[in-house]
Amino acid sequence: MALDRWIGLILLGICLVYGYTAWFTMDADLAPFMRRNPIWPSTFPKILSVMGILCALVIVFGLEKDKVEAGDIDYRRLLDYNLGQAVLLLGLMVAYALLLRPAGFLFSTAGFLIAGSVILGERRWIAMIAVAGVATGTIWYLVQEVLGIYMRPLPALMGG
């Protein structure tokens, strides 16, 4: 079986467990007045689980492909791909999650975007810094000011 079908099978198992939780265990402790509502807290997870199961079945049965192409991933040649970049990006994501509170949103997000673009091969430093700065500032402004959700913009040492 191809690598994409194995991944689809794993996703199918995850979606089945998620669906079981959404359909049978989430609504057991609802208050009596909430049981009469047309939309329960489990409505969106139920929809997500059904959609996830359908998408995973499409992948498992190979309905999304008409034929095998030369660009498909061959699991027997997995070491021929850029696994180093993928592992570095995963490590960068973990570092970003760990540094988000101590370093503040602005520094950690801009650093994540710049380091991620360097890992992926971008070498135009001015463009990287400008895009990271604008994107980070815009996201912070929208979340902080528009949505009203407090995010520490700077490290605690700098008054964040």
Last residue of a domain, one of 51, 80, 109: 80
Q: Are residues 106 and 54 in the same domain?
A: no
Q: Are residues 75 and 12 in the same domain?
A: yes
Q: Are residues 88 and 153 in the same domain?
A: yes
Q: Are residues 15 and 36 in the same domain?
A: yes
The tally of domains found in the chain comes to: 2
The answer to whether the Cα torsion of 40, 41, 43, 49 is positive or negative is negative
pLDDT at 160 over 60: no
Q: Are residues 115 and 152 in the same domain?
A: yes
What's residue 67's pLDDT? 62
CA dist., res. 46 & res. 44, Å (int): 5
pLDDT digits (tens, 9 = 90+) for 121-157: 989 999 999 999 999 999 999 988 888 878 777 776 6
Looking at residue 143, what DSSP letter applies?
Answer: I
CA distances from 45 to 57, 74, 81 (A): 18, 33, 35
Q: Are residues 98 and 72 in the same domain?
A: no
**Ramachandran region of residue 31, left (φ > 0), alpha (ψ -120 to 50) or beta?**
beta
One-letter identity of residue 2: A
pLDDT digits (tens, 9 = 90+) for 67-108: 656 666 666 667 777 888 889 999 999 999 999 888 888 999
Name the residue among 2, 1, 4 with its Cα closest to residue 59: 4
Give 3-state DSSP helix, strand, coil % of the chain, rounded to 5.
70, 0, 30
Which 3 state secondary structure label does DSSP give 74?
coil
What's residue 71's pLDDT? 65
| pTM of this structure | 0.55
pLDDT digits (tens, 9 = 90+) for 42-57: 788 889 999 999 999 9
Q: Are residues 64 and 93 in the same domain?
A: no
Name the residue among 106, 101, 102, 104 with its Cα closest to residue 140: 106
Q: Are residues 87 and 65 in the same domain?
A: no
Domain that holds residue 67: 3-80
Q: Are residues 76 and 115 in the same domain?
A: no
CA distances from 44 to 13, 24, 48, 129, 130 (A): 19, 14, 6, 38, 38
Last residue of a domain, one of 80, 108, 129: 80
Last residue of a domain, one of 54, 80, 106: 80
Q: Are residues 100 and 68 in the same domain?
A: no
Q: Are residues 145 and 93 in the same domain?
A: yes
Residue 1: pLDDT band with limits 50, 70, 90: low
pLDDT at 34 over 80: no
